[in-house]
Amino acid sequence: MYKKQLENPILKASFEKILAGNEEWVKQVKEDTTGKLQQLAQGQSPELLWIGCADSRVPANQITNTLPGEVFVHRNIANMCVHSDMNMLSVLDYAVNVLKVKHIIVAGHYGCGGVSAALSRNQFGIIDNWLCHIKDVYRFHSDEIDAIEDEVQKVNRLVELNVAEQVFNLCTTSIVQNAWKERNDLAVHGMVIDIATGKLIDLNITFTDSLGLGKVFAFK
Ligand SMILES: [Zn+2]
């Protein structure tokens, strides 16, 4: 098998740091007296599906103080739930229908670079097409966003409105609605992380059935 030696010393040191970190983790798994970490190889039964931003500052396990095995995770730029995203739909279907998670949290975060970029007219490359989904959310709420003068507050309010929209998008999928027909223990929540404090703020946008979705969206 082809193996390229890392010649650039900075690249090499950076890579070795990753491997050293893993050595530490291997030690922790080995020495875990609860046995929980060793049992992970047997399977998983998480109760939570986390759909969060790809931003490195908002890792699901640390934010919820949970261990590996406790949270099923999907992350992308700006925690979007796009109806035709096969990646998200596959994660959602597996989490809801196989793992039978009880909670789905769409977790946005204040200061989100994706949301901030969507509020500008600058081009950033291929991501502009992804960000258009956030611009759509802005379009629904442009009066409210435009009335906010402070740029930081503008972004943070759109972060909240975007979470609300993505929660709605999730709830309108056939996957979530069919699950609600079969069981009454699935809740979808909209939340925002304040990175400065680590606090996960409940936006009180929670759906446990399709009643609030409206005629066109609620499937028979
Ligand atoms: Zn973000």
Closest-CA residue to 52 (of 213, 172, 200): 200
Closest-CA residue to 200 (of 87, 62, 45, 39): 62
Phi-psi region of 173 (alpha: psi -120 to 50; beta: other; left: phi over 0): beta
78 C-alpha to center of ligand 1: Å? 5
Neighbour tally for 93: CB within 10 Å: 16
52 C-alpha to center of ligand 1: Å? 8
Q: pLDDT-based confidence at 219, cuts 50/70/90?
A: very high
56 C-alpha to center of ligand 1: Å? 9
Mean pLDDT along residues 25-48: 95
Closest-CA residue to 207 (of 181, 189, 180): 189
Reported as a single tens digit per residue, the pLDDT across 188-205 is: 999 999 999 999 999 999
Q: pLDDT-based confidence at 32, cuts 50/70/90?
A: very high
Asked whether the predicted pLDDT for residue 215 surpasses 90, the reply is: no
CA distance 80 to 36: 32
DSSP labels, 69-112: TSEEEEEETT----TT-HHHHHHHHIIIIIS--SEEEEEEETT-
What is the pLDDT at residue 177?
A: 98
pLDDT-wise least confident of 95-99, 183-187, 213-217: 213-217
- 44-207 belongs to which CATH class? alpha beta
Reported as a single tens digit per residue, the pLDDT across 94-118 is: 999 999 999 999 999 999 999 999 9
Q: Which residue, chain included where needed, has tokens 């919820």? A: 64
Q: Active-site residue 132, yes or no?
A: no
Structure tokens at 128: 């502009």
DSSP labels, 52-78: EE--TT--HHHHHT--TTSEEEEEETT
What is the pLDDT at residue 46?
A: 98
Q: Residues 81, 112, 133, 189: which is the catalytic one?
A: 112
Asked whether the predicted pLDDT for residue 4 surpasses 80, the reply is: no
What is the pLDDT at residue 6?
A: 86
83 C-alpha to center of ligand 1: Å? 19
8 C-alpha to center of ligand 1: Å? 31
In this prediction the pTM is 0.95
70 C-alpha to center of ligand 1: Å? 22
Q: Residues 57, 83, 139, 183: which is the catalytic one?
A: 57
Contact 74, 50 (CB under 8 A): yes
Contact 158, 192 (CB under 8 A): no
Q: How many residues does the chain have?
A: 220
CA distance 62 to 130: 27
Mean pLDDT along residues 173-195: 98
Closest-CA residue to 170 (of 191, 193, 141): 191
Asked whether the predicted pLDDT for residue 137 surpasses 80, the reply is: yes
What is the pLDDT at residue 13?
A: 94
Q: Active-site residue 53, yes or no?
A: yes
Residue-range domain boundaries for the chain: 44-207
Q: Active-site residue 55, yes or no?
A: yes
Q: Residues 53, 74, 157, 171: which is the catalytic one?
A: 53
34 C-alpha to center of ligand 1: Å? 34
150 C-alpha to center of ligand 1: Å? 19
Q: Residues 74, 81, 109, 133: which is the catalytic one?
A: 109
